[in-house]
């Protein structure tokens, strides 16, 4: 696999990891009247999906490239910190502020998923299975974006 594509894949994995950490935290610190629903059925569901997606994309990346760098905890955590620095923390924020950041973050993740799909396709690295995996992620993120949009009304 082309060097550039490996870097793009690694960055995408760290972007997913950053979102997984952010949404797990949102699950912990959400508050107010909507607490029960937000905690369990919104941020709870989202962080669990992201944990699952992370597992799947890392395994697929190793399978496609024969490189294990995608699963190195030191590489992943260091890169994820850099990504997280561009996020606004959910800690000590109101429920509305948390859902606003959540909406923007998932929209970014969806855009990144579409962009990864495009780059893999253009470089001839997109198998049918990989395409299906990414389409499944995008499908799930669109469903969560709908939920967050309704939450913000
Ligand atoms: Fe929990």
In whole angstroms, give the CA distance from residue 78 to residue 74. 6
pTM > 0.75: yes or no: yes
pLDDT of 4: 87
What's the gap in Å between 11 CA and the centre of ligand 1? 27
Terminal Cα distance for the chain, rounded? 45
Question: pLDDT per residue over 97-117, tens digit each?
Answer: 999 999 999 999 999 999 999
What's the gap in Å between 106 CA and the centre of ligand 1? 20
Phi and psi for 118 in degrees, rounded to 5? -60, -45
What's the gap in Å between 128 CA and the centre of ligand 1? 35
Range of the domain at 89: 3-151
Percent with pLDDT over 70 in the chain: 98
Domains: count for the chain: 1
Task: Check: CB of residue 106 under 8 Å from CB of residue 148.
Answer: yes
In whole angstroms, give the CA distance from residue 9 to residue 110. 15
Mean pLDDT value across the chain: 96
What's the gap in Å between 43 CA and the centre of ligand 1? 10
pLDDT of 2: 67
What's the gap in Å between 22 CA and the centre of ligand 1? 13
Percent with pLDDT over 90 in the chain: 97
Question: pLDDT per residue over 38-59, tens digit each?
Answer: 999 999 999 999 999 999 999 9
Query: Which SS3 state, helix, strand or coil, does residue 87 take?
Result: coil
* pLDDT bucket at 62, cuts 50 / 70 / 90: very high
Question: pLDDT per residue over 112-138, tens digit each?
Answer: 999 999 999 999 999 999 999 999 999
In whole angstroms, give the CA distance from residue 113 to residue 53. 12
CATH number of the domain at 84, please.
1.20.1260.10
């Amino acid at each position: 696999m082309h060097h550039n594509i490996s870097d793009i894949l690694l960055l995408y994995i760290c972007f997913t990891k950053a979102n997984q950490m952010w949404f797990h935290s949102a699950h912990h610190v959400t508050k107010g009247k909507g607490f029960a629903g937000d905690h369990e059925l919104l941020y709870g569901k989202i962080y669990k999906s992201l944990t699952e997606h992370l597992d799947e994309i890392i395994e697929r990346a190793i399978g496609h490239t024969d490189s294990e760098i995608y699963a190195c905890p030191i590489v992943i955590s260091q890169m994820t910190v850099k990504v997280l620095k561009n996020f606004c923390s959910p800690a000590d924020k109101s429920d509305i502020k948390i859902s606003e950041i959540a909406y923007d973050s998932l929209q970014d993740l969806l855009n990144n998923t579409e962009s990864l799909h495009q780059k893999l396709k253009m470089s001839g690295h997109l198998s049918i299975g990989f395409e299906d995996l990414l389409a499944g992620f995008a499908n799930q993120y669109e469903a969560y974006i709908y939920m967050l949009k309704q939450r913000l009304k």
